[in-house]
Every structure is written in C-alpha cells, then in structure tokens.
Chain A
C-alpha cells in the first residue's frame, strides 16, 4: 500500500496570506490527524478528522482549520499567516476500525511551511 502523502512538500508564504495543505491517507484509513512541529514547541496536535467530522481539536487559534472529504483525504488551512506559523506540518492516518481501540498512526513526510 502507498503511504501517507502530503502536498506540497515545501511552501513559502508571506505574513497575512493564507495557505492550504493537503493530506492523502493510506488507502482504507478513515482517521486523519494533523500535527505542527516547531523547534521550540516540538510536535503539537492540531486536529483529528473521522468520517468528514472533526472529532478533536488541539489548543490552536481559529486561524487553523481543516476538513475531510468523503474519500478520507484531508486539507488544513491557515489564514492570516504569522511568522510563528513557520513549521513542519505532519499528517497521520490510522484505520479507526469500528469497535477497535486506538491504533498506530502512520505519518506522512510533512509540508515545510516558511512564512516571511
């Protein structure tokens, strides 16, 4: 099976702009989570989607949003970019089978966002 893919791999934006990142989960996986990784804060949970619904959200401002499509692909959007949004954004998918407990998350290579 192909792994988790994320596009684009690199992005450069300026302050005030908005950006959309895309994530395609492993085929058959229904849950998609997003994480932000910065040198200062490490890896932090952004949100998780399952069946096109956001089930959980981390402690990030409303400028960070996301959605999931019927084919489980997910996008995250950051509006009004700030310098501090520069980070590696990682997407992870998991099977999330009905009746099964939490299971391994498989991570994509990430999108490196630089805000100038």
Chain B
C-alpha cells in the first residue's frame, strides 16, 4: 500500500525567501506525481505534474523534482510571496485495482510573512 509523507507539516518564512517542501513515498511503482495547492475551505489547484519518466518540471517560480528510485520529490518555491500562503499537497499517481488513483500526503501548511 502506497504511503506518502510530507515534511514539515507547517512552515513559516519571511517574504522573499526561497524554500523547499519535501514529499516521500514508499512504493516507487508510480505513474506520476502531482503537487497541489489548497487554500482554506477551497478545492485543490494543480501546480505541477511530473511523469514517472521525468526528473523535474518548472512553472514560473515553482520547480518540482522527482527521484523515483529513492521515493522522493521536492517542491522549490523561489522568492516567496504572501500570496503563496496555503497548504501544499503532494499526490502520487498509481494503479489501484487496474485504474489510476491518487494517494495524498497530509500536506505542508505554508505561511509567508510580509
């Protein structure tokens, strides 16, 4: 059974700082890995999707890496802004009973202090 862990559970940084969020997973037989953002009381917004054959993906100030063999992914946020404050979720896409499903970590709650 796939298990996904995110460290730290919460993080507070001053505006402008670069930061890294960590995600680890137990089963390397994955299709892909996705990073999401969730604002309080809201649904999920997809940030980056990394296919199992890829090593990283970039979008603006965000860069996600994937090391499938070690079961790790990182989300790098450059020059953080107060608007980046949210919970960041890592989700591993794998096969469950023959179809695709996401297994989520419990998230890292990020606060960017102006």
Contacting residues of chain A (39-60) with chain B, CB-CB under 8 angstroms:
42-45, 48, 50, 55-58
Known: A107-B44, A109-B42. A56 touches B96 (CB 8 A): yes
B43 within 8 A of partner (CB): yes
For the A-B complex, the count of residue pairs with Cβ-Cβ distances under 8 Å equals 64
A90 within 8 A of partner (CB): yes
User: How many residues of A are in contact with the other chain, CB < 8 A?
Assistant: 27
Q: Are B104 and A48 in contact (CB under 8 A)?
A: no
User: How many residues of B are in contact with the other chain, CB < 8 A?
Assistant: 27
Contacting residues of chain B (1-33) with chain A, CB-CB under 8 angstroms:
31-32
Known: A42-B107, A102-B93, A104-B49. A48 touches B100 (CB 8 A): yes
Chain B residues within 8 Å of A112, by CB: 41
Q: Dominant SS at the A interface?
A: strand
Q: Are B46 and A42 in contact (CB under 8 A)?
A: no
Contacting residues of chain B (26-57) with chain A, CB-CB under 8 angstroms:
31-32, 34, 36, 41-46, 49, 51
Q: Are B46 and A105 in contact (CB under 8 A)?
A: yes
A64 within 8 A of partner (CB): no
Q: Are B96 and A102 in contact (CB under 8 A)?
A: no
Binding site for B on A (CB under 8 A): 4, 31, 33, 35, 42-45, 48, 50, 55-58, 90, 92, 101-110, 112
26 residue pairs from A and B, CB less than 8 Å apart: A33-B101, A35-B102, A42-B104, A42-B106, A42-B107, A43-B89, A44-B104, A45-B101, A48-B99, A55-B97, A55-B98, A56-B96, A56-B97, A56-B99, A56-B101, A57-B97, A90-B43, A92-B44, A102-B32, A102-B93, A103-B49, A105-B34, A105-B102, A107-B43, A109-B42, A110-B42
